[in-house]
Structure formats: structure tokens, C-alpha cells
Amino acid sequence: MLGPARNVCVWRFTWRRPSLRLFHRKCHMSIEELHPWFLGAYAENHDVLEDLLTEFLADHVYWRRNFHPECRPPVPTSAQYRDDYIEFVAELKQELFQLSADLKRSVPWFSPRYVGHMSSDLLLPGLIARVMTTLYNPNNVSEDASPATLEKELEVGMQLAEMFGYPIDESAEPCAYGHLTSGGTVANYEGLRNLIALEMYPMALAQASREFDGELGPMGPLVKRLTEYSDWELVNLGVDDIIALRREALGSARELHGPAGFERFRKAIKAARFEALGAVDFFRTHSELKPPVVLVPSTAHYSWEKAMKVLGLGAQHLLEVGVDRNMRMDVAQLRTVLEQCLDQKVPVLALVGVLGNTEFGTVDPIGELMNVRDEFSERGLHAPVHIDAAWGGYLASVFRAEGGGLVGRDMLKKKFHYFPSQTVYEAFAALGRTDSITVDPHKLGYVPYPAGAYVARNRGMIEFLTQEAAYVFDIEEESHQRSLADKLRHLGQYILEGSKPGSAAASAYVTHRVLPLHHDGFGRILQQTIRSCEYFYDAMPEFKERVGDLVNLTIPFEPDSNLVCLAINPRANDSLARMNCFGRRLFEHMKIDPKQPIQQREFVASYTSLLAERVSDERAAELLGELGIDPASLTPNPSDAEGQADHVFLIRNTLMNPWLLHEQNGKNYIDLYLDYLERIIRQELEG
């Protein structure tokens, strides 16, 4: 939130305090516009939900009845008087009562007293669309199983693409595309899968044209004959170049060799591809080439390691780039790693930037990352960039002006105390330059699970993904883009999943229609979450004083948006292991315990650990100093006796509930949360 220059001594800002409450109150006025958007913490808007669901349930019933009304109903009207019918319904009801009772143990995401994981109340438009569409059960695997919802899914892809600044004009090239997945995990898998298909293609093409008599001359992005390129050169072509190369190569081969020859050529390419050979044989064939690596920040979600395993790339080839003191990818370290890759000719399959990491919510400097990437491209090492914005992706709506373009940083700064820092602003501004993005509508999109999304800048990507090597006859068609759009109607051929809920698409679609993904639409919700986070941050100096007799307390790094972590240590304690035990004891009060009624919880938080290996020694010493911990008590490999001393335990608060600043009796939920923290700290320490 703070600019990089004033990132250390956060407590200096206490002089601002008297005006704070006023400032936040003023901004809070606009919250009224959000009132109808959610079901509400108290289900205040239940009548809207009920009316619309009842209406559309009846509507669905008539739809069924009007499909061949001449048919005699297979379930006769007399059926309901039979004993077995009555028994069945009774039993069903019994089970549903039980389920309903069990569901009361669910996590109260909707409540402003829930400040834990990345979930909150659901937006009414998405919730209603979801339930309504489930009645029709569309399957978005392809259009013939989802005549109504597949197009909506592709539209959602374009809405997200526009929010990120990707090109969306279907009559021009490149044009983006996107679709929904079950979540960020699968979208990340797909990001990697697509990049392998693309980046290994030119080598297969060269191989096939070597085996085939007809050599391909300079074309597309090439300046010499294809076969004169080394594998290293071919693996370092950019996404757009590879798409252009493939089209031109297939086009000219077809012209040269006629339909039969072309068909043989096509088969030869297919047989030489990574997808056909598998990693082992592919790299045996291209022995000059080292196995490719994927670069992620050390804060990356664990789905990246899973992805390496699932795709057979090997977890050892996932290289972690360290982070700076703000838990953002360290660009100097990135440079070093890329330098080594260039030096040793190790292909970089993907450079992954994280836009809002799961544990700390901090944002990698995507702007700088892109600059470094471009610099290395010039020197012959091209790393395609995938952004994991599963968490932070929707924040792009705050930066997007209605009608396109970016909202200026000055204009944004007027609305907030600190947000957005220069780095954060540049990160969001640079999204349009990246190659593909993961984003989770079921996180900051406030729609029901499951809904993740994969979005790519250039839809030409799908030509590399078909089960059947794509027929290139589309280049002869009038509108190339239209044919890509047509292909996407058989979505299942291009994505990792098969059958998938059209209701997820309907849910995201209606949400984005009612609340367009820009600053003055959907962006308002997220502005509210950032305000809540700034309020929390600004309340810290006073809170720190209040509990100063008992604990040392610190926010270990500036929040970049709406997630904030706290480290708390009892005053008398200087052992890290004991501090972590204390943190866990506090957390016991605020965790979801499946065995206890949720009503016993006053607030629910989450936790994370800051591993010692993730921060520099200097930063670790500084942080421990602030907490009054003896740095010597930090042990990278904790023995069982001491235990728990290789990390700093943090209470993690995701501040995404829209009503956190709602006041009653002069206190909002953040005030109440801090009061509660004080109470449990006193309870634990004073007994």
C-alpha cells in the first residue's frame, strides 16, 4: 500500500489518526450502493432471492410442460397417494432435514465476523443465476450440450480479457479468449499445458520438414530456412511468432505439395510433437536441449508444483525465485536466474508472476518482470509469461475505466490513503502484455464454487491443442478469427476438463452483466475491501499501544490490497518457538472447529507461516527485533524439543467482506475484531 520508499516504519503515521475515522466514514457513504448486491450478512435481501427463485422455478416447470404438452405425464397424478410414494417423500424429507442440520456447521463466509480464507458472501446475481441454471443442467463441454450457456462462458472469457487489457476485437489479430475451469489449480495446469504445446511445436515442425523432402524457406518470423535454426533458437520464439510460423508453414507446405503431400507432412509434424512422443522421447530426439524449467516466486501456490508433477515436467524443474521484503518477487533475483538459464541454455517454459499470492496477498511487480523478460528476449532467451491471478485478478476491475483504458494512478490515490503503490499500479497496468492469466471468479468474483478461469491474450493458441492436429484450411477461409470462434464452440477439445457446469458460466456471466468489470461497476466492491484493509492498517498504531503492556505486535509487510497478516509476541518472551505456540493458542479461539457450533465463534480468522527461508537474514533479524525475539532462537531445522522455530506464525485476515466498515454503536467490525483480539490476548496472558 505504501510506496516502496516508506516501507519500514509504518507506525510513524500515527499523527494522521484523528482524521482517519472521518476519512473512512466519508468513503463509507458509497457502501449504500452495494446494499442490494449480496444476500447480506443477515440475509436482509432474502425476499429478492425468494421472489426470483420462485418465479424462475415456476418458469422452469412451464418450460418442461411446454415441451410436447401432448404427452401423457409418465408420473400419474394419482401416484402421490400411493404408500411407497408417500414413504419415499417422507424419507427424502428426513434426509434433507438432516442435511440442512449438518449444513449449519458450514463456514459462515457471509459474515463480517469471518475474516479468514478467501471466501465471503455471494453476489445475488451469480447465486440466482447459478441455482436457476442448475435446473436446466447444461454441460459446457460443447455447444450441443449447452446451446444457451457455452456462448455465455466464452463471453465471460472476453469480459475477463477486457478487464485485463487483452485485445478483444474478434475481427483483428491477436484476439484473446478465455473459459471457465473448476478453479485456479486447473487453470494453472492449463496455462502450462498450453505453453508446452506451443513452445515445443517449432522443433517438431523443423524435424518434420527435415524428414520431408520439401524444406521450408524463411517465413513468418524466420529470417533463414527453418532447418537452419538450432533447437535452442526455436524454443525461444514468442507466442505470437509461433502462431504465425505454424500458419505460414502449413499454408506454404500445402501450396507446394498438394493435398496428399500436405497430409503426409501434417502427419509427420504430429508424430514429432511433444504431445505424441512424451517428454522422454522428445528430449532424447532433441538432445541438444535441456529439459525446460518453470520460474515462480517462492510465494507461489502449491498448485504449481502439482502442475509440474501432473504434466510430467518434474517438480525439480520448478525453480523458485526469492521475494523481497514486501513478499513480492525479487526482480534482481529473477535476473540472476534468467542469466543462468541463458548461460546454460535451459529453456524457460513459463515465467509465472503472482498477482496476489495466497498467503500474504502481495502482488509481484509484473511491470518490472515484463521489462526483464523483454530484455532477455532480445538476448535470445524468451520466457512466455503466465500470471497466476487466482486471488488478485478481479482487482483489475478497480484499475479499468468504463469503456476501456486505465484509471489514472492519481485519480485512484485520491480515493485511498496508500493504495495503489507504484509497483502495484504498474503490475496491473502491465497485465495486457502478458501471455495468459489464471483468475478465480469463486474468490474475489464472489460467485459460487466451482469457478476458475483461464484467459489467453492470443486465441491462436488453440490451434496447437486439438486432439486432431488442426486442419489449417481455415487460413483459406475469409475470416480466420471467426473460424477460431467456431472451434471454441467445441470447447472440450481444447481444455483439460470434459463435462462441466453451464451453471458456473451463467453465474459469472450474469454477475458481470449486472456489475461490469470496471472501476465504477464491480470495482466498487473491491474498493470497499481495500478501504477495509487500510482502516485495519491505520488502526494498528493505536491497537499496538493498547495491548503494548502485554505483547509486541507487527504487520510484517505492507498489504498490497485487502489481505493483512499480524505477528504477535508476548512481551516477556524472546523465544520464537514460544511465540509461535502463543500465536497458535490465539488462533484456537478463531478457527473453525468441525466439532463445535459455529455460533461459539466471535470471529473467524486464518493463519499462515512465514518460513525463515523465504526472507533474508537481515529482514528476519529486523522482524524478530520488532517482536522482541532473540534471533538466535530461529532454527532453520527445528528439533522436536524446541519445535516450531523455523517460521513466524502469522494470523492472516482476508478482508473481503463488503460490510466490515459497517458501524453500530460507533464501532465497525474491524474495531470489534481488534477488541476481540485484545480480549483473547489478555485472557491468554492474564488468565
Of 301 and 417, nearer to ligand PLP (C-beta) is: 301
Of 357 and 528, nearer to ligand PLP (C-beta) is: 357
Pick the piece of the chain touching ligand PLP (CB under 6 A) from 268-276, 324-332, 383-391, 409-417.
Answer: 383-391
Interface pick for ligand PLP out of 390, 465, 550, 672 (rule CB under 6 A): 390
The 8-class DSSP code of residue 490 comes to: T
Pick the piece of the chain touching ligand PLP (CB under 6 A) from 81-89, 180-188, 229-237, 411-419.
Answer: 180-188
State how far the Cα of 564 lies from the Cα of 562, in Å rounded to an integer. 7
State how far the Cα of 682 lies from the Cα of 680, in Å rounded to an integer. 5
Min dist. Cβ of residue 440 to ligand PLP (A): 5
Interface pick for ligand PLP out of 391, 425, 536, 543 (rule CB under 6 A): 391
> Interface with ligand PLP includes 184 (CB under 6 A)?
yes
State how far the Cα of 393 lies from the Cα of 134, in Å rounded to an integer. 26
Under 8 Å between Cβ of 550 and 571 = yes
Min dist. Cβ of residue 441 to ligand PLP (A): 9
Give backbone dihedrals phi and psi of 569, rounded to 5 degrees, phi first.
-130, 130
Of 222 and 390, nearer to ligand PLP (C-beta) is: 390
Of 306 and 513, nearer to ligand PLP (C-beta) is: 306
Of 118 and 346, nearer to ligand PLP (C-beta) is: 118
Of 386 and 409, nearer to ligand PLP (C-beta) is: 386
Of 440 and 671, nearer to ligand PLP (C-beta) is: 440
Pick the piece of the chain touching ligand PLP (CB under 6 A) from 146-154, 386-394, 503-511, 563-571.
Answer: 386-394
Q: Is the Cα dihedral 473, 479, 483, 486 positive or negative? A: negative
State how far the Cα of 342 lies from the Cα of 661, in Å rounded to an integer. 50
Q: Is the Cα dihedral 523, 529, 531, 537 positive or negative? A: negative
Residue carrying the nine cell digits 498490497? 560
Pick the piece of the chain touching ligand PLP (CB under 6 A) from 179-187, 225-233, 518-526, 527-535.
Answer: 179-187
Residues 6+ apart with CB under 8 A from 286: 203, 231
Under 8 Å between Cβ of 167 and 457 = yes
Of 174 and 322, nearer to ligand PLP (C-beta) is: 322
Interface pick for ligand PLP out of 160, 180, 341, 354 (rule CB under 6 A): 354
Pick the piece of the chain touching ligand PLP (CB under 6 A) from 129-137, 387-395, 420-428, 492-500.
Answer: 387-395
Beta bridge partners of 378: none
Interface pick for ligand PLP out of 140, 358, 575, 657 (rule CB under 6 A): 358
Interface pick for ligand PLP out of 126, 138, 157, 183 (rule CB under 6 A): 183
Min dist. Cβ of residue 451 to ligand PLP (A): 8
Binding mask 428-467 for ligand PLP (x = CB under 6 A): ------------x-----------x---------------
Of 149 and 303, nearer to ligand PLP (C-beta) is: 303
Residue count, binding to ligand PLP (CB under 6 A): 14
Min dist. Cβ of residue 450 to ligand PLP (A): 8
Under 8 Å between Cβ of 602 and 676 = yes
The 8-class DSSP code of residue 320 comes to: E
Of 139 and 608, nearer to ligand PLP (C-beta) is: 608
> Interface with ligand PLP includes 501 (CB under 6 A)?
no
478 is written with which cell numbers?
A: 475469409
Amino acid occupying residue 571: R
State how far the Cα of 202 lies from the Cα of 236, in Å rounded to an integer. 10
Strand intervals (E) in 355-471: 385-389, 436-439, 452-456
- Which residues inside 279-318 make contact with ligand PLP, applying CB under 6 A? 301, 303
Of 354 and 623, nearer to ligand PLP (C-beta) is: 354
The 8-class DSSP code of residue 557 comes to: S
Terminal-residue alpha carbon distance, the chain: 37
H helices of 237-291, in order, are 239-272, 274-285
Residues 6+ apart with CB under 8 A from 217: 225, 226, 252
DSSP codes of every residue in 536-602: HHHHHHHHHHHTTTTEEEE--S--SSSEEEEEEEETT---HHHHHHHHHHHHHTTS--TTS-GGG-S
Single out the residue of 24, 26, 10, 16 nearest to residue 559, CA to CA: 10
Does residue 450 sit in helix, strand or coil?
A: coil
Under 8 Å between Cβ of 10 and 540 = yes
> Interface with ligand PLP includes 126 (CB under 6 A)?
no
Rg (CA), the chain: 28
Min dist. Cβ of residue 181 to ligand PLP (A): 8
Of 163 and 300, nearer to ligand PLP (C-beta) is: 300
Pick the piece of the chain touching ligand PLP (CB under 6 A) from 55-63, 181-189, 552-560, 666-674.
Answer: 181-189
Applying CB under 6 A, which residues contact ligand PLP?
183-185, 188, 301, 303, 354, 357-358, 388, 390-391, 440, 452
